[in-house]
Amino acid sequence: MKKLIVPQKYNNKKLNKFLKENIPNLSDNLFYKTLRKKDIKINGKRVSENVTIFEKDEILVYIADNLLETKIPLTIVYEDKNILLVQKSVDIEVTGEQSLLTVIHKKFTNCGFLPMPCHRLDRNTSGLILFAKNQLALDILLTKFKNHEIEKHYLALVYGIPSTPSKTMEAYLFKDRQKSLVYISDIPKKGYRKIITSYTLLEKYPNHTSLLDIEIETGKTHQIRAHLAHIGLPIVGDGKYGINRINKQMNAKFQKLMSYRLKFKFKSDAGILNYLNGKEFQLKKDSFPL
């Protein structure tokens, strides 16, 4: 059962709008099914229609939690006693409620240590995520990522053809937390942090798109997406930094960006993880949605 109090912003709005924006994963079908069963109460009275609501109304919604759960697939690419490598789909958060971490914690609930992610991917970026299965492995991997001793490569489908087949680019990034956007500058500015992004051209396509291998030395928020857009190579399907007209033409609903290769290149002792040094894990290109 969910209990909600209507805030001023929803005064004189429809019930479905308020509930869909305040109950994660509530579909239209589930909303109207719940109405038909009279499993929604407003100020103590059951309702069976999509009524108008008002500020300070108390709304009780009787929906089983399992009906609101996101069905998140768990694709394990590699696992041993210390690490877990998982392939994340698009439209899934790595952490938070109803996330990849939630599914993994349920699977490993009786294992003593709940696996923890060693890095992040944007919600709409797919690909490889590395989890540690014990505290010592987690500490080592976090240090190795910080010291750039683990290579992460991405595939990006971009609109445009790069002028040179490969390039390492330096720029400066500013994160606007309020707008959830980042901005790129070619010169240092106050509040901007240095970023380094490298690309290699893999394929060129007739529709003026190209497939790039991307490696980042610095891992800042939206770095790949914003940096590529800044140099005139926006990622296809990117709703923030891409070109909406192109996204619609190509029917691209999610950004075409995937973390597809991970390589362990330890420069110093890795303790219990030394056996990983030199190992490389890579997703097949046909798993990348062109």
Q: How far apart are CA 255 and CA 245, in angstroms?
A: 14
Place of tokens 């100020």: 43
Which is nearest to 133 in space by CA: 105, 92, 98?
105
Q: How far apart are CA 141 and CA 228, in angstroms?
A: 28
Decide if 4 contacts 21 (C-beta within 8 A): no
Helices 15-22 and 28-36: crossing angle in degrees, nearest 10, is 120
Catalytic residue among 28, 122, 213, 238: 122
Strand-pair category, 2-5 with 58-61: antiparallel
The residue type at 193? R
Listed in order, strand segments (DSSP E) in the chain are 2-5, 13-14, 40-42, 45-47, 52-53, 58-61, 75-79, 83-88, 116-117, 126-132, 150-159, 166-176, 181-185, 193-204, 209-216, 257-264, 280-282
Is position 122 annotated as part of the catalytic site? Answer: yes
Phi, psi of 272 (to 5 degrees): -65, -10
CA 165 vs. chain centroid, Å, equals 28
Q: Which residues are catalytic?
A: 122
